[in-house]
Amino acid sequence: MGGCASKDKKDTVVDGDAAAAATDKAAENGEEAAANTTAEPSATTANGDAINNEGKLNIMVDAAVLAKLEDGFAKLAASDSKSLLKKYLTKEVFDNLKNKKTPTFGSTLLDVIQSGLANHDSGVGIYAPDAEAYTVFADLFDPIIEDYHGGFKKTDKHPAKDFGDVNSFGNLDPNNEFVISTRVRCGRSMEGYPFNPCLSEAQYKEMEEKVSSTLSGLEGELKGKFYPLTGMEKSVQQQLIDDHFLFKEGDRFLQAANACRYWPSGRGIYHNDNKTFLVWCNEEDHLRIISMQMGGDLGEVFRRLTNAVNEIEKRVPFSHDDRLGFLTFCPTNLGTTIRASVHIKLPKLAANLAKLEEVAGKYNLQVRGTRGEHTEAEGGIYDISNKRRMGLTEYQAVKEMYDGITELIKIEKSM
């Protein structure tokens, strides 16, 4: 796999142990960071990498990584993949990026694209192993971000966080005819930590402890309990599965991205007493904050999420970028990171899937199967959510979903 070897100490390195842990990971992956002998080094990092007079690391991409990249690129280019990775990873872009590494963790292009190389049926196909990857590999990330997020260009800047008037959304389906359940979630990365592929086991455990202690301070309707995956009792595990709360190891897209290391260390789930508020710790993102309930009362669901995010943010600093907004492992979740969705039954529209997709597209909505991405609709129930998360506020992202679902219900009633 790719690198994530620790380099010079930056904000993303948590403590003095981080460099050693990341170096161990590089050794695990069979990589050696080689100093570039063309520049005169003026210093070295704790793990011996040379730094030139400009303070930049002189490291070369390992030959084995380059070989994997060349082979993977050739196979992807010859495939019938419809992924955004294939669309934008031209030979020119590939040649420009294949020898680059991120400064702090030494992440390579392979770390970024290995999931898409392994899974040609990916819709997107890339992940950011650390925050710096969005800058170092911008020639690939920027066009994919623009395509996915409805025209968010590399010259655009994501607006400041704004949940707007949380009381402005009502019940999408007061008579409970169409909407089975409503859910709004957002992702957050903890400041000072890289993303999944570059985390050491010690960092996973440290993060879990921070999240658990932080959430234990929540009160009111957010009050609940944290359940670590490590050592979880079978009865608790089964109950969480029955409640559709438990995330499981085995997502091949995440596994290929090297995001499931040390499983189940450092992973856990928190839910409130009413089972309407959830936090996932270290599944795909550091935190997935989720508000949900049966029926179509989007207003209540959104108010609860906003309250939770604001409460957690008081206690835990989140990674944020002035241009990209809140930073996440997958570029589809950048910006607001908001995904507002409903499970909805639209039997007449479902009989004409092209029509359903057409109307959803007008409102920037994404239609998925009942259990989310890469699944089928069970019993005619679809998971429909806002698609754009960048270049608009949290309020506007949820409003796109609200307006689109309102229109879909109106069309279903008229058919």
Angle at 363 between CA 358 and CA 367, to 5 degrees: 60
Is residue 373 among the annotated active site residues?
A: yes
Could you say which of 23, 185, 188, 336 is catalytic?
Answer: 185
Could you say which of 288, 304, 388, 389 is catalytic?
Answer: 288
The answer to the question of whether 341 is labelled as a binding residue is yes
The answer to the question of whether 45 is labelled as a binding residue is no
The answer to the question of whether 343 is labelled as a binding residue is yes
CA 380/CA 178 separation, integer angstroms? 11
Could you say which of 252, 303, 323, 368 is catalytic?
Answer: 368
The answer to the question of whether 184 is labelled as a binding residue is yes
The answer to the question of whether 393 is labelled as a binding residue is no
Contact 60, 52 (CB under 8 A): no
The answer to the question of whether 244 is labelled as a binding residue is yes
The answer to the question of whether 373 is labelled as a binding residue is yes
Length of the chain in residues, anyone?
A: 415
Q: What are the φ/ψ torsions at residue 72 (nearest 5 degrees)?
A: -65, -40
CA 351/CA 146 separation, integer angstroms? 32
The answer to the question of whether 368 is labelled as a binding residue is yes
CA 299/CA 406 separation, integer angstroms? 14
Is residue 288 among the annotated active site residues?
A: yes
Could you say which of 332, 336, 337, 393 is catalytic?
Answer: 332
Residues in Cβ contact with 161 at an 8 Å cutoff, skipping those fewer than 6 apart: 325, 326, 336, 393, 394
Could you say which of 283, 284, 300, 311 is catalytic?
Answer: 284
Beta bridge partners of residue 341, listed in sequence order: 183, 385
Label residues 138-165 b or e (16+ Cβ within 10 Å = b). ebbbbbbbbebbeebeeebebeebebee
The answer to the question of whether 149 is labelled as a binding residue is no
Could you say which of 261, 339, 388, 389 is catalytic?
Answer: 339
Tabulate helix, strand, coil % of the chain (nearest 5): 40, 20, 45
The answer to the question of whether 320 is labelled as a binding residue is no
Please report, as a single letter, which amino acid is at residue 82: K
Could you say which of 198, 260, 281, 330 is catalytic?
Answer: 330
The answer to the question of whether 369 is labelled as a binding residue is yes
Is residue 339 among the annotated active site residues?
A: yes
- Picking from 122, 53, 103, the residue whose alpha carbon sits closest to that of residue 332 is 122
The answer to the question of whether 388 is labelled as a binding residue is no
The answer to the question of whether 188 is labelled as a binding residue is no
Distances (CA, A) of 342 to 33, 76, 171, 220, 293: 47, 34, 12, 25, 10
Contact 280, 207 (CB under 8 A): no
CA 112/CA 102 separation, integer angstroms? 11
The answer to the question of whether 37 is labelled as a binding residue is no
Is residue 368 among the annotated active site residues?
A: yes
Residues involved in catalysis: 185, 284, 288, 330, 332, 339, 368, 373
Residue ranges of the binding site? 181-185, 244, 288, 339-343, 368-373
Residue ranges of the binding site for ATP? 181-185, 244, 288, 339-343, 368-373
